[in-house]
Amino acid sequence: MSRLFQSIIIENRVVTPDFRVLAVNPIGETGAPKPGQFYMLQVGTGEEPLLKRPLSIFRQRNGTLEFLYRIRGKGTRLLSSLSGGTEIQMLGPLGNGYPGPEGDFIAVAGGTGIASIFFLLESFPGRGYLFCGARTCDELLMLDEVRPLVKEICVTTDDGSYCSRGYVTEHLERGLATVPRLAGLPVYACGPEPMLHELTRLLDGRGMQCFVSLEEYMACGMGACLGCVAETKNGYKRVCKEGPVFPSGDILWK
Amino acid sequence: MEMSSGHKAEAAPDLSVSIGRLKLRNPVMTASGTFGYGEEYAEFVDLNRIGAIVVKGLSVTPRTGNPPQRIVETPSGMLNAIGLQNIGVRSFIDEKLPFLRRFDTPVIANFFGDSIDEFVEAAGRLSSAAGVHGLEMNISCPNKHAGWGAFGTDPKLMRDVITAVRAGTTLPLIVKLSPNVTDICMMAKIAEDSGADGLSLINTLTGMAVDIRTRRPVLANVTGGLSGPAIRPVAVRMVWQVCGAVGIPVIGLGGIMTAADALEFLIVGATAVAVGTANFVNPRVTIDIVEGIERHLSEEGISSVSEIIGSIRLPNRP
């Protein structure tokens, strides 16, 4: 069983114009991923683009690995053009994953962050209070799939095009003030860095654990090149190895 | 195994090479900075099957490295400005070397300093550590006593620092040359004259990338080192030129991704090759390349890798 393996693409499903779900079948036996972990995926066929791309594990079904991704740059655009039957090389599972949770928890997902939070919610069904937001309703994903997995859900859009208007952090702040059962629960978050930074600020002093999943440009994905570091109170830490999940209070936010 | 009629089973080709006193089972080494201290790769590669392990560069005092963003992909390559982050010579000897000693593969310690004194001290400490079989001197790092210009771009500094290190160690000493110079053959000859047992080239080419939306450099350090397939033609050319200028063995590196790439370097005169950025793309690549070289030699009916080293056939020039 190796963390370096070949996979066959089963499908590359269009979810919205900008988002896809890639489903792959590993060839041979591979390790089972934990929520919050990621894989490095080959996106080119040769030396261009050179590097593999890191994607969070979104869902795992009978050995099939699924990745929910946004088409953002050269790598993801190429990935979106790969069709069923294509063989790609992969590395994983990588990273530390979300610790616990032992009981009920709060999950905060911003935009594409729903990808890694989804696997957490699916792995601990019926225990999560999900605060889920995006810029517009076009970027809200997997709402129907996620509703059965959570205790409660609060959906926000920055522009008010769906459900409540405002930032997901504003709604969490209001929830913590008005909903007693949320107090003291651990928080798991994945999304844009300004959201994670704001989340850290609003949770400061409340005595609630908060774990954030970071992203950084990666080359090797396995701790060797030292390219993907985040600045923490304990020095530089590798997002691919000591992370991608970190206690939010450890991070030196920009 | 299928054999065509008349085919004689041949012994496996001899892949062994020597870099001075260093005997390698095959000509494939790891490039410093791309293989850590070996531990991360042990799950993918049998470290007993590589020619030599060149570890991440070490300095006497640990370095924290540069702030992010440290890397960016570029066409067929990448820029890095890691900033020479390392745990320091002492921690390497105490914590990382024991793991490497389990293997039957020469360990070459890449080292650097921000002054001649620091270079000499690092070399001295590494030389007395059990399990270090050779030293690779990184002179592409900035010199604090010379306005932070690199050692490797100043002929006098080159001569001074290599001579000083040479005087303090009897271990095989390889000098890793910077390509960011006008005349790499001149630098190569200085290194040879100053006592190097071998040369490795090329290190990264200095490059830069800009984010056109923010109008800022992508890397926090502004500039970085370019590596990967994009630099290979420059590396092959420089290795060819240096092999014609010096008598000591040359280790060729720069964008090697496959056995075919490695063979280019051997043919122009390199005694061995080092594989770097390719490890990020495929952590098993070093072994794939060893096997690929062996396969090529078998298919060509060549019994020893030494037969192809320096075997380039140049056109007759007037």
pLDDT tens digits along A160-201: 887 788 899 999 999 999 999 999 999 999 999 999 999 999
Contact A185, A105 (CB under 8 A): yes
* B40 touching chain A per CB within 8 A: yes
* A3 touching chain B per CB within 8 A: yes
Residue B147 has pLDDT above 90, yes or no: no
Residue B182 has pLDDT above 80, yes or no: yes
Measured between CA atoms, how close is A129 to chain B, in angstroms?
A: 33
- pLDDT single digits (tens) B76-108: 999 999 999 999 999 999 999 999 999 999 999
Measured between CA atoms, how close is A193 to chain B, in angstroms?
A: 14
Percentage of chain A surpassing pLDDT 90? 90
Residues in B closer than 8 angstroms to A51, CB to CB, are: 73, 78, 280-281
Measured between CA atoms, how close is A41 to chain B, in angstroms?
A: 10
Closest CA to B38 of B126, B86, B109, B99: B99
pLDDT recorded at residue B9: 53
pLDDT recorded at residue A162: 78
Using the 8-state DSSP alphabet, how is residue A80 labeled?
A: H
Instruction: Note whether B73 contacts A51, CB cutoff 8 Å.
Output: yes
Please provide the DSSP assignment of A98-123 as one string. -----S-EEEEEEGGGHHHHHHHHHH
Instruction: Note whether B283 contacts A230, CB cutoff 8 Å.
Output: no
Catalytic residue among B28, B58, B137, B141: B141
B255: nearest CA partner in chain A? A47
A252: nearest CA partner in chain B? B67
Mutate to test the interface with B, among A94, A225, A240 (most CBs of B within 10 A): A225
Overall pTM surpassing 0.90 (yes/no): yes
Using alpha carbons, list the distances in angstroms from residue B60 to B66, B74, B121, B157: 18, 32, 7, 20
Instruction: Note whether B68 contacts A231, CB cutoff 8 Å.
Output: yes
Residue B318 has pLDDT above 90, yes or no: no
- pLDDT single digits (tens) B62-73: 999 999 999 999
Name residues 78-137 of chain A within 8 A of B (Cβ): 89, 91
Measured between CA atoms, how close is A182 to chain B, in angstroms?
A: 35
Task: Work out the angle at residue B70's Cα, subtended by the Cα atoms of residues A193 and B59, and round it to the nearest 5 degrees.
Answer: 130
* A228 touching chain B per CB within 8 A: yes
Residues in A closer than 8 angstroms to B75, CB to CB, are: 48
- The size of chain B, in residues, is 318
Using the 8-state DSSP alphabet, how is residue A29 labeled?
A: -
Residues in A closer than 8 angstroms to B277, CB to CB, are: 50, 219
A219: nearest CA partner in chain B? B280
pLDDT recorded at residue A138: 85
- pLDDT single digits (tens) B14-55: 999 999 999 999 999 999 999 999 999 999 999 999 999 999
Residue B314 has pLDDT above 90, yes or no: yes
The pair of structure tokens assigned to A51 is 């590097």
Active site includes B141? yes
Residue B141 has pLDDT above 80, yes or no: no
Contacts of A189 (CB under 8 A, 6+ apart): A107, A108, A109, A110, A113, A117, A195, A196, A199, A210, A211, A212, A213, A248
pLDDT recorded at residue A15: 95
* B207 touching chain A per CB within 8 A: no
Closest CA to A232 of A216, A199, A254, A215: A254
- pLDDT single digits (tens) A115-160: 999 999 999 999 999 999 999 888 899 999 999 999 999 999 888 8
Contact B249, B18 (CB under 8 A): yes
Contact A187, A209 (CB under 8 A): yes
Work out the mean pLDDT of chain A and round it to a whole number: 95
d(CA A199, CA A202): 5
B228: nearest CA partner in chain A? A50
Using the 8-state DSSP alphabet, how is residue A79 labeled?
A: H
Contact A121, A130 (CB under 8 A): yes
Please provide the DSSP assignment of A160-223 as one string. SSSSEES-HHHHHHHHHHH-GGGTT--EEEES-HHHHHHHHHHHTTTT--EEEE-----SSSSS
Question: pLDDT confidence of A13, banded at 50, 70, 90?
Answer: very high
Instruction: Note whether A227 contacts B33, CB cutoff 8 Å.
Output: no
- The size of chain A, in residues, is 254
* A46 touching chain B per CB within 8 A: no
Question: pLDDT confidence of B148, banded at 50, 70, 90?
Answer: low
d(CA B203, CA B180): 9
pLDDT recorded at residue B1: 52
Contact A134, A192 (CB under 8 A): no
User: HSE-up of B246 (CA within 13 Å, CB side)?
Assistant: 32
Q: At what angle do helices B184-193 and B232-243 cross, to 10 degrees?
A: 50
pLDDT recorded at residue A45: 79
Residue B275 has pLDDT above 80, yes or no: yes
Contact A80, A12 (CB under 8 A): yes
Residue A44 has pLDDT above 90, yes or no: no
Contact B70, B53 (CB under 8 A): no
pLDDT recorded at residue A226: 97
d(CA B162, CA B167): 9
Contact B286, B30 (CB under 8 A): yes
Instruction: Note whether A229 contacts B70, CB cutoff 8 Å.
Output: yes
d(CA B93, CA B124): 12
Using alpha carbons, list the distances in angstroms from residue B22 to A63, B154, B271: 47, 29, 12
Size of interface A-B (CB pairs under 8 A): 92
Across the range A229-242, mean pLDDT stands at 98
Measured between CA atoms, how close is A174 to chain B, in angstroms?
A: 34
Across the range B135-158, mean pLDDT stands at 83
Instruction: Note whether B70 contacts A91, CB cutoff 8 Å.
Output: no
- pLDDT single digits (tens) A78-118: 999 999 999 999 999 999 999 989 999 999 999 999 999 99
Report strand pairing: B134-138 vs B173-176: parallel
HEC sequence for chain B: CCCCCCCCCCCCCECCEEECCEEECCCEEECCCCCCCCHHHCCCCCHHHCCEEECCCECCCCECCCCCCCEEEECCEEEECCCCCECCHHHHHHHHHHHHHCCCCCEEEEECCCCHHHHHHHHHHHHCCCCCCEEEEECCCECHHHCCCEHHHCHHHHHHHHHHHHHCCCCCEEEECCCCCCCHHHHHHHHHHCCCCEEEECCCEEEECEECCCCEECCCCCEEEEECHHHHHHHHHHHHHHHCCCCCCEEEECCCCCHHHHHHHHHCCCCEEEECCHHHHCCCHHHHHHHHHHHHHHHHCCCEHHHCCCCCCCCCCC
Mutate to test the interface with A, among B212, B227, B257, B281 (most CBs of A within 10 A): B281
* B99 touching chain A per CB within 8 A: no
Q: Which of A46-55, B206-215, B279-288 has the lowest mean pLDDT?
A: A46-55
pLDDT recorded at residue A40: 98
